[in-house]
Amino acid sequence: MLKIDAFTIEYRKNPLGIDDKKPRFSWVMLSDKSATVQASRRIIVMGPDTVMWDTGDVPCSQSVLVTYEGSALEPKTKYTVSLIVKDNHGETAEADCFFETGLMGRFNPNALWITHGMDSGGSSCPIFIKDFTLNKKVHMGRVYISALGIYEAKINGNKLGDAYFAPGWTSYHHRLQYQIYDITGFLNDTNNLCITTANGWYAGVLMSNYRYGERTAVWAQIELIYENGQTETIVTDNSWQYGTGPARYAEFYHGEVIDHTFDVEVYGAAKPIEPPTGELTAQECEPVRVTKRIKPVSKTLTPKGELVFDFGQNIAGLVEAELDEPRGTKVVVKYAEVLDKDGNFYTKNLRTAKAEDTFICAGGGEVFLPSFTSHGFRYIKVEGIDNDYPADRFTACVLHTDMEPIGEFTCSHPGVNRLQQNIVWGQRGNFIDIPTDCPQRDERLGWTGDAQMFAATAAFNYNTALFFTKWLRDLKADQTIKHGVPTVVPSVLEDKEGVAAWGDAAVIIPMALYRAYGDIRVLEDQYESMKDWVEYISSKAGDSFLWQTGAQYADWLALDKEELSDRVGATDIYLIASAYYAYSTGLTAEAAGLLGYTDDAVKYRKLRDDIIEAFQKEYITSTGRLVSETQTGCVLALHFNLAKQEHRVKITEMLVKNIERHNNHLSTGFVGTPYLCHALSDNGCHELAGKLLLQRDFPSWLYTVDKGATTMWERWNSIKPDGSFEDASMNSFNHYAYGSIGDWIYRMIGGINILEAGYKKSLISPRCIKGISGAKTSLKTPFGELSCEWGYKEGVFNANIRVPVNTEAVIDLPNRGIKESVGSGVYNYTYQTEMDI
C-alpha cells in the first residue's frame, strides 16, 4: 500500500508566514512493495476562492523540492495544497497541507519603528504597549513583529509563540527578520499587546565591545479580519506607550535580573525613529526553542561550601527556578561547565561573562525563567536559599534552533556511543540561531571555519537546510570584495582580510547542503558568493596560483606547533591556504556545472588545475616528499587530491609514519581533523583510522569521553591528564569542531553514503574496524528513512538495510565480493566470513 508519510513546504509542515514567491513542496512516501518509485504526481494549490496552480497528472519521479509555478501568490493569504501521487505498481496516495504567506515585502506604510525615551545606557528592559478595543467578532487575527534587539510578545497576558530571541541574529544592516503570530484565539473586546525588548545581539555588548545600535526598538502590524468580511490594521506609531516591567536587566553574556516585586510601569508615548537599513524578511529558519527539560542528578556542597546542582549534561540554555521565599528575597543562580579538580565551582574560562541570573521574589510560590539570555553550563551554584532546598525545584531548559533530528548512530562500543552523543550535544549547544563557536564565555560568535568543518556532520544529526540557508545569506551580505568573507558571521569584528578554511565556508557549506538535501536553490542563491570568494583568493595569489600572503589561522589548535606560536600548528600556513584555494575552486566549478554556467565551469576547472600544478611544484618534491610532512599537510594533499597519483602512496606512508611517531595518536587541529580518518580510509589505511578513533589516552576523542565530557571540547586537552585545565583564556567545554569525526563515523562505520544529491541514490557500505562488532545507523533523508544495521559474531555477518521509496542504492557489504544495485525496500543479509573485529 502506498502512503504519504510527510508533506512539507520549504522543509516545514503547514508553515505560517512564507515570503518565498515560489515555495517548494516535498513529500515522503511509504510502500510495502519493493523497488517502488513515483510514476506521476499532481499538485493543486487553492487560494481563498480560486485555483492557483493545477499541474495535472505529470509523469515525474521528483518528490523533493518541487517548485511552485502557478499564479502569483498574494501576501497575508492562506493556500491549501492537495497532492496525488501514483507509483509504478499502480497504487495511489493523497495528502493535503496548507501554508500562509507573509507580508512579501508589502508593509503598511503607516507602521513606524518606535523606541523608548529612557536612557540608552539604562539596565531595565523596555516594554512597548498598545491597548485596543474590538466591537465586532474577529474571524482571523495576525500580528507581524520585528525588533532591534530581541523581544517577547504577550497579548492579554498570553505569550505569543514559544520562540526565544526573536527576531534572531542577522546582518542587521542588510537583513532583519520579522515573525508572524496567530492571535485569533487570544482576542477579547478589550486587548493589550505588550512587547518586552532586551539588548540581545543588536544593542548588547558583543566581543570587542561591538554594538549595532544603542537602543532597542520595535515594529508591529496587527491585521484583523472580522466575520463580516471587514478588515482593520493596527500599527506601531506614537499612540503606543513605553515603560518597564519585572525584567530589570538582560545581557547574553552576563544574565538577567527578574524582580517580581516590580509591576509594569508606563512612562509615556513611544517615539518614532528612522527605520533600519536592513530589508525585512519573514522568519527564515526554525526558531530557538526549549527542546528538552532536565532535572538535577545531584546536589552537593563543594569544599568551599558552595551549593551546587549538577544536571549531568553540559548544555546551552536556562534554568527555571520554582521558589517559595519571602518578599524581597534575592536568589542568584550562577553557571559553570565544570568543577575544578578539587570539586569547586569553576568559571575562569568564562572570561568576562558573569553568567548569572538574579531572581527577586514577591513572596509565595513563584516560577522564574529568563527570556533574554542564555548560558553554557552543566552545573549551577545557587546563592540566597538554604542548603536543604529541594533539587527538583530547578530545571535546566535546553535551548537551540529547533531543527528536526534526522540521524542516529549506535554501536557495540560504549565510548563511541558517548562520543556520538557528545557530538550531537555540541551541535545543540552551539546552533542557537547561528552556528556559534561556544555558548558560555564572552564570545559566542558565528566563526565561519568552525561551521564549515562541521557542516557535513551537522547535516547527519539534524536537518540543517533552513538553519544554514539563513546564515549563508548573512555571510553573503557581510562578504566584501576588499576583505573577502569575514571570520565571523554576522560580522562584528573589525575588518580583517579573509583567511583560508574560514572564508571557504562560502563554498563548502552550500555544496554540503546540496549534497545532503538535493537543494539546488542553495547553490543558486550562494553562487555569486562562492565565485567572489575564489576571485578574492585569486587577487591574492595572482599568476603564482598560490595563496602566500597575509595572516592565517592555519591548522588552529593543532598539537604540533610552529615556532613562536602555540595555536596555528606546524603545517606551513600557506600550504594550507593554497590547498583550500584549490579545493574551493574545484567545488565552485562543480556548482557552475550543476547550475548550467558552462563557461564558469570550464574557467574554474582550469583554474583548479593551474593551482594544483603550482601546488605540486611548490610543496611536493619530484620524489613525492611534502614540504610539511605533518599529519595535516599529508591529509590535505590526499583528501583534496592535490598530489600526483604516483606520489599518493609515498604521502600516505608519510602520514602513517607521522602517526606512528605519535604512538598512533593524532596531532591535527581544526583543519586536519575533519579529513584525517577519511584520508586514511580512502588510501588503504582504514584499520589505522579505526585505531585513532578508539584511542583512549591523550590526545584522542575517547580521552575526552573518559574524562567525563558530555560535549566536545575546544582543545584536545581542555582537561589535562592530572585534572587541571588548559589556558582559561580559551578553553571551552562545548565546542563542536572536533565533532567533525561524526561524518566519518556515519559514512564508514555506519555505512551510509551519498551517490546522488539528497540520497536519491545511496551507497550502503559499512567498513568494520577492530573493536566494534556491530552498529546501527539511520537517517531521515529527503525521501524517507535510510538505515543500515550490521553485526558480526562467531564468523557470521548480518546486515539489515532499509532503502526509501523513490530511491535506489548500491549495497557493498564487507567481504561479500558483490556490489548489488537495489530499489526501495528492506534487505536482509547473512553470510559467513572471517573478520578480525
Q: How far apart are CA 355 and CA 365, in angstroms?
A: 25
Confidence of residue 241 (pLDDT cuts 50, 70, 90): very high
Residue 175: all three cell numbers together: 537583513
Note whether residue 476 is domain-resident.
no
Angle (nearest 5°) at CA 630 between 628 and 633: 65
* Alpha-carbon 464 to chain mean position: 6
Distance CA 736, CA 433 (A): 15
Instruction: Tell me the pLDDT tens digit for each residue of 605-661.
Output: 999 999 999 999 999 999 999 999 999 999 999 999 999 999 999 999 999 999 999
pLDDT digits (tens, 9 = 90+) for 286-322: 999 999 999 999 999 999 999 999 999 999 999 999 9
Q: What spatial distance separates the first Cα and last Cα of the chain, rounded to whole Å?
A: 40
β-partners of residue 368 are 321
CATH of the domain at 803: 2.60.420.10
Based on the fold, state whether residues 176 and 272 are members of the same structural domain: yes
CB atoms within 10 A of CB 796: 11
pLDDT recorded at residue 563? 61
The answer on 274 and 127 residing in a single domain is yes
Q: Which three cell numbers stand for residue 346?
A: 569553576
Catalytic residue among 100, 223, 356, 714: 714
126 & 142 share domain: yes
Q: Do both 275 and 321 map to the same domain? A: no
What pLDDT does 564 receive?
Answer: 59
pLDDT band at 123 (very low <50, low <70, confident <90, very high): confident
pLDDT in tens, 364-375: 899 999 999 999
**Cell reading at 592:** 557552475
pTM for the predicted model, two decimal places: 0.97
Whether pLDDT at 120 is above 80 = no
Q: Do 261 and 348 fall into the same domain?
A: no
Residue 30 located in a structural domain: yes
Dihedral (Cα; 71, 75, 76, 78), 10-degree rounding:
20
Residue (of 65, 16, 15) closest to 757 by Cα position: 65
> 330 is written with which cell numbers?
534575592
Last residue of a domain, one of 229, 260, 283: 283
Domain assignment present for 608? no
Q: What does the pLDDT look like over 462-514, one tens digit per residue? A: 999 999 999 999 999 999 999 999 999 999 987 789 999 999 999 999 999 99
Nearest to 252 by CA among 361, 391, 108, 354: 354
Angle CA 475–477–479, to nearest 5: 65
Instruction: Examine the pLDDT at 121 and tell me if it is beyond 70.
Output: no
Assess contact for 346 and 725: CB atoms under 8 A.
yes
Pick the closest to residue 789 from 745, 414, 822, 798 (CA basis): 798
Average pLDDT, the chain: 97
The closest of 471, 508, 516 to 491, measured between CA atoms, is 471
Phi, psi of 29, deg, nearest 5: -110, 145
Active site residue 789: no
Residue 574 has pLDDT above 80, yes or no: yes
Question: Per the domain annotation, does 731 fall within a domain?
Answer: no
Catalytic residue among 443, 562, 590, 789: 443
Share of the chain above pLDDT 90, in %: 97
Q: Which residues are CB-contacts of 626 (< 8 A; sequence separation ≥ 6)?
A: 619, 620, 633, 634, 637, 651, 654
Q: Where are the beta strands (DSSP E) in 699-793?
A: 752-756, 761-764, 774-781, 784-793
Q: What is the pLDDT of residue 376?
A: 98
Residues 147 and 244 in one domain: yes
DSSP label at 745? I
Answer yes or no: do 132 and 270 share one domain. yes
Are 149 and 225 part of one and the same domain?
A: yes
pLDDT digits (tens, 9 = 90+) for 142-195: 999 999 999 999 999 999 999 999 999 999 999 999 999 999 999 999 999 999
Instruction: Identify the domain boundary among 101, 134, 167.
Output: 101
For 398, the 3-state DSSP assignment is strand
Looking at the predicted structure, is the pLDDT value of residue 789 above 70?
yes
- Residues 189 and 332 placed together within one structural domain of the fold: no
Cα–Cα distance for residue pair 197/250, rounded to 1 Å: 9
pLDDT attached to residue 207: 79
- Considering the domain boundaries, does residue 598 fall inside one? no
Lookup result for grid cell 567525563: 708
Task: Give burial (CB, 10 Å; 0-12/13-18/19+) of 493.
Answer: middle
What are 389-419's pLDDT values in tens digits?
Answer: 999 999 999 999 999 999 999 999 999 999 9
Residues 124 and 62 in one domain: no
Among 25-34, 103-112, 146-155, 558-567, the minimum mean pLDDT is found in 558-567
In a domain, 521, yes or no: no
133 with 278, same domain: the answer is yes
Q: 566 falls in which pLDDT band (50, 70, 90)?
A: confident
pLDDT in tens, 665-709: 999 999 999 999 999 999 999 999 999 999 999 999 999 999 999
Residue 329: which CATH number? 2.60.120.260
Q: What is the mean pLDDT of residues 596-605?
A: 98
Q: What is the pLDDT of residue 496?
A: 82
Residue 567 within any structural domain of the chain? no
Instruction: Report yes or no on 312 lying in a domain.
Output: yes
Grid coordinates given for 653: 606512508
Structural domain of 127: 113-283
Active site residue 325: no
The count of domains in the chain is 4
Structure confidence at residue 429 as a pLDDT band (50, 70, 90): very high
Q: Which CATH number do you get for residue 82? A: 2.60.40.10
Domain boundary among 283, 317, 344: 283
| Measured torsion, CA atoms of residues 56, 60, 66, 69, in degrees rounded to the nearest 10 | -40
Instruction: Indicate whether 121 and 266 sit together in one domain.
Output: yes
Residue 494 is predicted with a pLDDT of 79
